[in-house]
Structures are given as structure tokens and as C-alpha cells.
Amino acid sequence: MGAGSPRRGEGPPDGGWGWAVLGACFVVTGFAYGFPKAVSVFFRALMRDFGAGYSDTAWVSSIMLAMLYGTGPVSSILVTRFGCRPVMLVGGLLASAGMVLASFATRLLELYLTAGVLTGLGLALNFQPSLIMLGLYFERRRPLANGLAAAGSPVFLSALSPLGQQLLEHFGWRGGFLLLGGLLLHCCACGAVMRPPPGPGPRPRGDSADGAPGEAEAEAERAGLRLREAPSGGRSRRRLLDVAVCADRAFGVYAVTKFLMALGLFVPAILLVNYAKDAGVPDADAAFLLSIVGFVDIVARPACGALAGLARLRPHVAYLFSLALMANGLTDLSSARARSYGALVAFCVAFGLSYGMVGALQFEVLMAAVGSHRFPSALGLVLLVEAVAVLIGPPSAGRLVDALRNYEVIFYLAGSEVALAGVFMAVATKCCLRGRRSQDTRPGQGAGGAASDSEDAEAPGDSEALPAGSEEPGSLEAREVLSHGAAAPEAEAEPGRDPKPV
């Protein structure tokens, strides 16, 4: 576990121990996205025991999701300072402790603080570090790796929802929360496998010259979170959170898209079980609807990830993402009046397919937009923006359900918001980012090179022309130089390709 960043030409291993990291990401992603939705199975019991309305009870899932997203910058800073492994171990303990303490709650406020805040924070401290580590191990196979890791969400959702129903029937909601808290300890095991990829040379694990632990220093350098040596020879320092990424036009487009998307994307999944129960569907069959969404999602995410990795489609992954958003929104709009069980099953199939496409592409689009070296900071800031939308969307939907006693309006609103996000992403990518991409594409460089982080490194002369910290937000060449180090040796050209002109 050397602490130096990989030399140009070495790059991520695209395999090896990365497959173990991918498996851990699969589990962590499943808990992070599946757990807040699966908890909705307990809402009716909570409403009965605490005498609360649906909107008040739905705050448990909303706070959990808001903590998952809103603590993104905090997670980025902790990963930079301490490394992925210790942050994930602490996160697993917090997530488990939150559900265990929630089983003793006597008021809804206590549920908000334990199952909502504490468990949500623990899931956040697992989710973001796992994505950062996955990006360090995969580059050429990154779309496929992202798709496989994202498949953890439907797998766990399809398993946790029926499991929660069984726990509720046999042990009540208190016993169910206690057992689910023990299940979340698996996040600690996932954190234990998150070791940094091997670097070009060994370095002691002890503190580095600027006081950072050796493992955290290694991960920070590989993730591009460490400032390069100043031209005057001054000591380098670590950048805990790169807020300069907000000036990137592509990041701004993505952040607005994610905000609009988060307003309505999670609402149908959270309301689906209770919607079916109010329509007269038996409890067991209603809980199985989430499993149908999960089963379709399981197939959709890896398949979409593999599709996005094709050479012809990878440069246009933003358009695939916008297409998935529009398909999801139209599914909500067309199924707003579904009341029979057959119509609900058809909705779950279509929703699971489009939802899986969104889940498989969302982080690949962000990494392609800002570059791998800015991805940790960009991810933390995007999750913070998404947290605001999550705190607005599902709770507002719950209040509308309490006020109107009608789910049709909720599905219309949610579908319109998600479809609008897809339209905005497509139009902004076509109009606002097209000129920048044409400028970024150098003579002799294909379109795929302009959108992918797996291109060859620039020649030494180009590196000197673009020192660290002086790159323009839209310059992909500058991003590649910073990602691999300005003073690193030149990479060898890929077989069958001509080297880039100097």
C-alpha cells in the first residue's frame, strides 16, 4: 500500500483486489439506497403506535436520505484526512447503533434522531468512500463497475422489503429495528477491504511530512485531493474539499439536474407500498411490489453500465442519462391512475427499468464531467444539493397525501419533476456544453477522448504549459495532467493508436 500516486501509464488496475472492493461497494450501495425505502414497510405500525400521520412518519426516511446526501462534504473531508477504511468502519458502527437505539424510541422525535440522523450519517460515511475507492481501482471498465456496484440497491431492496414485512409480523417494529441494526454491521466488514491500490513505490504507514496518516495520504493523492508542489519549491498541502469545481459549467448543469431529479425520483418508491395497501392490495402482495422493482432493477443496472461502456456510446453518456430520466418521469405520469394489482405490477416493471438506468449512469456522468481527480469533492457537493431536494420532495408528498387523500396528484408532480430534469440535462448538454467540448477536442483526438478519463496522458511539454492549479474548468487536457501528476513520466501510447501530437 504505497502512498505515492500512480505514475502516468500505470493507472488503476481494473481488476485484482478491485473485484473485492466492487463486492463491498455492491453491499454498501444496497444498504445506502435500499434501507431508507425498506423502512417504509414499518410506517403503518409506527403511525398506529405514535398516533401520527403519514407525513410525520415519512420524515424518518426523508431524514435518513437527507443525511446520506447532505453530509457528502463532511465525508469527503474525513476521507481525505483519515482514509476510506477507518471512515467506513466508524460509519458501519454508527448505522448499526442508530437502528438499535431506534428500537427503544418512545417518541417520533427519538426516531428522527436515531434511525434518521444517526443511521443516515453512518450510511453516508460508508457510501461515498466506497464510490471513491471504486474509482481508484477501475478506469477502462469503470462504467461496468459502476453498473455492477449500483445493482446492490435493487438486490437489497428486493430482499429488505419482504424481510422487513416478516420481521414486523413476527417481532413487531421494535424487534425488526433491532435485528436490522445488527444486519448493518456488515458495513464494517465492507470497510475492512477498502485498502488503497498499490502505488509505484512503498512508503511507511506512519505520518507524512505534513502530518497526515500514510494510508489517508495515499488515497488523497490518488483521488486528486492533494495539491501539487508549488513551483517555488514550497511544501505541498492537502486540499480537503475542492469547492472550485463549482465554477465548472458541466458540474453546474449536473447539479441542477440532480436537484430536479431528487424532488420526485424517490417519491413513488416510498409511497408505493402504502398506495397499494390503500387500494385494497393485501399487505404481503403490496410489499412484494418493491421486490418487483428490485428484480427488474437488478438486470437494468449492470446491462446499462455495460451499454454505457461501449466505445460509441461512452462519449454520449449524458444523453443516455437524460433519456433514462425522461423515461422514469413518463412512467410516473402514465401510471398515476393505476389501481388494480396488474396495473401496479406493470408500473413496477417500467419504473424498475428506468430507475435502474438512472442509478447505473448517475455517477459515471459526474466522473466524466469533472474528471476522476475532482470526483470526491464534486460528489460531496452534489450530494449536499441533492439533500435539499430530498428534504423537500418526499415530506411534501406525504403532506399532500394527508391533505388530499389522493395519490394521483403525487405521481403527476413526481413524474413532471423527473421528466423536467431529463429535458434540462439534454438541452443543457446540447446547447451549453457543446462549444466547450469542441474546444477541448484536439486535432487527431476522437470524441471518445473528450468524454473519457481513460485517455493517454499529455506529453511533458503540455504538462509544463498547464501547471497545477492553473487549469481552466473546461480543459480536459489540464485535468488529465493534474490527475496523474505534472512531473510524472510520459505514458506509453495505447496499442494501435498514434500518440497525441505535442
pLDDT in tens, 195-236: 887 765 334 343 344 444 445 444 444 444 443 333 444 444
- Which band of pLDDT confidence, cut at 50, 70 and 90, is reported for residue 486? very low
Check if the beta carbon of residue 165 is closer than 8 Å to that of residue 336: no
User: Which residue ranges does the chain devote to CATH 1.20.1250.20?
Assistant: 15-196, 242-437
Q: Identify the weakest region by mean pLDDT among 193-207, 276-290, 404-418, 474-488.
A: 474-488
pLDDT value of residue 322: 92
Residue 302's nearest CA partner among 17, 6, 29 is 29
Length of the chain: 502
Question: Span 244-254, mean pLDDT?
Answer: 86
Fold classification of 15-196 (topology level): Growth Hormone; Chain: A; (1.20.1250)
Which runs of E-coded beta strand occur in 83-240?
A: none
Q: Identify the weakest region by mean pLDDT among 2-11, 279-288, 396-405.
A: 2-11
Burial of 172 (0-12, 13-18, 19+ CB in 10 A): middle
Apex CA 449: angle with CA 476 and CA 440, to 5°? 40
Question: Span 171-186, mean pLDDT?
Answer: 91
Rg (Cα) of the chain, in Å, rounded? 23
Q: How far apart are CA 128 and CA 122, in angstroms?
A: 11
Check if the beta carbon of residue 191 is closer than 8 Å to that of residue 22: no
Q: Identify the weakest region by mean pLDDT among 131-145, 376-390, 454-468.
A: 454-468
pLDDT value of residue 330: 93
Q: Packing angle between helix 375-404 and helix 249-264, nearest 10 degrees? A: 30
**282 vs 54: which has the higher pLDDT:** 282
- Which band of pLDDT confidence, cut at 50, 70 and 90, is reported for residue 183? very high
pLDDT value of residue 238: 56
Whether this prediction's pTM lies above 0.75 is answered by: no
Is residue 443 classed as helix, strand or coil in its secondary structure?
Answer: coil
Asked if residue 471 has pLDDT above 50, the reply is: no
Q: How far apart are CA 81 and CA 451, in angstroms?
A: 30
**281 vs 436: which has the higher pLDDT:** 281
| C-alpha cell of residue 360 | 447505473
- Which band of pLDDT confidence, cut at 50, 70 and 90, is reported for residue 488? very low
Check if the beta carbon of residue 325 is closer than 8 Å to that of residue 414: no
Question: Span 349-360, mean pLDDT?
Answer: 89
**278 vs 189: which has the higher pLDDT:** 189
Asked if residue 493 has pLDDT above 90, the reply is: no
Question: Span 446-457, mean pLDDT?
Answer: 37
Asked if residue 305 has pLDDT above 80, the reply is: yes
Q: How far apart are CA 314 and CA 181, in angstroms?
A: 39
CATH of 242-437, one of 1.10.600.10, 1.20.210.10, 1.20.1250.20, 3.40.50.10380: 1.20.1250.20
Q: For a pLDDT cut of 90, what percent of the chain falls above it?
A: 18
Sign of CA dihedral 66, 53, 94, 361: negative
Check if the beta carbon of residue 342 is closer than 8 Å to that of residue 285: no
Q: How far apart are CA 287 and CA 342, in angstroms?
A: 14
pLDDT value of residue 72: 77
**178 vs 206: which has the higher pLDDT:** 178
Q: Which of 108-117, 363-372, 490-499 has the highest mean pLDDT?
A: 108-117
Q: How far apart are CA 387 and CA 64, in angstroms?
A: 10
Residue 274's nearest CA partner among 161, 160, 186, 377 is 161
Check if the beta carbon of residue 51 is closer than 8 Å to that of residue 351: no
State the chain's mean pLDDT as an integer.
Answer: 75
Q: Which of 151-160, 194-203, 299-308 has the highest mean pLDDT?
A: 299-308
Q: Identify the weakest region by mean pLDDT among 27-31, 45-49, 302-306, 494-498.
A: 494-498
Residue 109's nearest CA partner among 59, 177, 159 is 59
Asked if residue 317 has pLDDT above 80, the reply is: yes
Question: Span 339-354, mean pLDDT?
Answer: 89
